[in-house]
């Protein structure tokens, strides 16, 4: 499969994934427009970029000159229309709400050059639902990167029914230019590839915990030592964000009614309501103020409500 990946990249959304996408692309020599309509989000994104690059320098992974060159390739702004006009590919990384993504896709289609593809980084909202029956649907697909992007080499490139062959080939070329290994799905399925497999294991782990078979720390230990995974399922949940897990499993339970999803929601909801969102909040199943992280007692629903 061959494709074209030349020119400037547009990343929409200056949250965690958007910032990491912009940084990964800029590290590989790509000029990036990072756009967010909210000034406070742009300021947080700017600070996160600087922090990530400072960390590279302090750990000897880059010189200050190299870090400054990477930062110089990222231009932050709030005007999507102006930024899109000079870009050759766009990746949307905004909040996981269908109506918001639809609006962003429509704005991108109107503002980008006709050759530019439009990808969503969503792991569960398919491009076909976002683009719908529009005249730009052939330019759209999913490009699902994994958090943290600097450490996770994979990107799932997922074609929608209307995605053109050229768009698919260009997406593969862009994934490679951004420095990540693409795998292609020509048919979209729930969870794509990795989350489909991981989700089955995670639901089983949460069921074992909810049924009182073992503690989450024991299940994590068993999976790490018995399956040789680098992280156990509850450590992975903390890394990904328990609020996002609650959202996705709640939606999935409403659609499919599987017991594993229900039990996940029952376990995770009190944690989220208690403000324990995982690594990003400093605590989830584990306390990340210690090294190594320490398992924490699970709150009850009543404790979370207080």
Query: Any bridge partners for residue 90, and if so which?
Result: 10, 118
DSSP string, 97-166: -HHHHHHHHHHHHHHS-TT-EEEE--SSS-HHHHH-S-TTGGGEEEEEE-SSTTT--EEEEEE-TT--HH
Q: Please pick, among 115, 144, 147, 256, the residue that the annotation labels catalytic.
A: 144
Distance CA 61, CA 53 (A): 9
9-185 matches 196-298 in fold: no
Distance CA 245, CA 252 (A): 10
Distance CA 67, CA 247 (A): 36
256 is an active site residue: no
The predicted-structure confidence for 116-127, as pLDDT tens digits, reads as follows: 999 999 988 999
The predicted-structure confidence for 8-65, as pLDDT tens digits, reads as follows: 999 999 999 999 999 999 999 999 999 999 999 999 999 999 999 999 999 999 999 9
Distance CA 108, CA 92 (A): 9
For residue 302, the model assigns a pLDDT of 55
CB 9 within 8 A of CB 87: yes
Q: Which residues of 37-49 are buried (b: 16+ CB within 10 A; e: fewer)?
A: eeeebbebbbebb
Residue 64 CB burial class (10 angstroms; 0-12, 13-18, ≥19): exposed
Class of CATH domain 196-298: mainly alpha
Residue among 160, 117, 155 nearest 6 (CA): 117
For residue 303, the model assigns a pLDDT of 53
Q: Give residue limits of the domains in the chain.
A: 9-185, 196-298
CATH superfamily of the 9-185 domain: NAD(P)-binding Rossmann-like Domain (3.40.50.720)
Residue 243: half-sphere exposure toward Cβ, Cα within 13 Å: 11
For residue 112, the model assigns a pLDDT of 98
pTM for this one? 0.84
Distance CA 289, CA 273 (A): 20
- Tell me which of 54-58, 142-146, 188-192, 250-254 is least confident: 188-192
Taking the alpha carbons at both ends of the chain, their separation in whole angstroms is: 56
For 162, the 3-state DSSP assignment is coil
* Cis peptide, bond prior to residue 136, ω within 30 of zero: no
- Extract the tokens encoding 105: 């896709």
pLDDT exceeds 60 at position 249: yes
Residue 1 contacts by C-beta under 8 Å, 6 or more apart in sequence?
Answer: 168, 169, 172, 184
Q: What are phi and psi of 20, to 5 degrees?
A: -65, -35
CB 74 within 8 A of CB 49: yes
């Amino acid at each position: 499969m061959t494709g074209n990946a030349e020119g400037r990249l547009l990343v929409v959304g200056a949250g965690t994934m958007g910032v990491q996408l912009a940084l990964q692309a800029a590290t590989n020599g790509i000029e990036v427009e990072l756009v967010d309509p909210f000034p406070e989000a742009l300021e947080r994104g700017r600070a996160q970029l600087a922090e990530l690059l400072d960390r590279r320098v302090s750990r000897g992974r880059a010189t200050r000159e190299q870090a400054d060159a990477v930062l110089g390739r990222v231009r932050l702004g709030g005007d999507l229309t102006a930024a899109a006009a000079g870009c050759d590919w766009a990746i949307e990384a905004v909040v996981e709400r269908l109506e918001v993504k639809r609006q962003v896709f429509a704005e991108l289609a109107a503002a980008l050059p006709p050759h530019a593809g439009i990808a969503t980084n969503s792991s569960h909202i398919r491009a076909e639902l976002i683009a719908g029956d529009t005249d730009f649907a052939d330019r759209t697909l999913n490009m699902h990167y994994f958090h943290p992007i600097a450490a996770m080499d994979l990107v799932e490139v997922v074609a929608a029914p209307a995605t053109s062959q050229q768009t698919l080939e260009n997406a593969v070329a862009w994934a490679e230019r951004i420095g990540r290994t693409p795998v292609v799905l020509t048919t979209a399925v729930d969870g794509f590839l990795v989350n489909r497999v991981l989700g089955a294991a995670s639901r089983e782990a949460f069921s074992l915990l909810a049924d009182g078979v073992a503690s989450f720390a024991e299940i994590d230990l068993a999976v790490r030592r018995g399956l040789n995974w680098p992280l156990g399922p509850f450590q992975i949940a903390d890394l990904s964000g328990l609020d996002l897990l609650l959202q996705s499993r709640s939606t999935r339970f409403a659609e499919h009614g599987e017991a594993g999803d229900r039990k996940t929601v029952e376990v995770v909801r009190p944690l989220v309501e208690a403000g324990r969102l995982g690594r990003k909040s400093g605590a989830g199943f584990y306390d990340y103020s210690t090294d190594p992280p320490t398992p924490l007692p699970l709150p009850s629903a009543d404790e979370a409500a207080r």
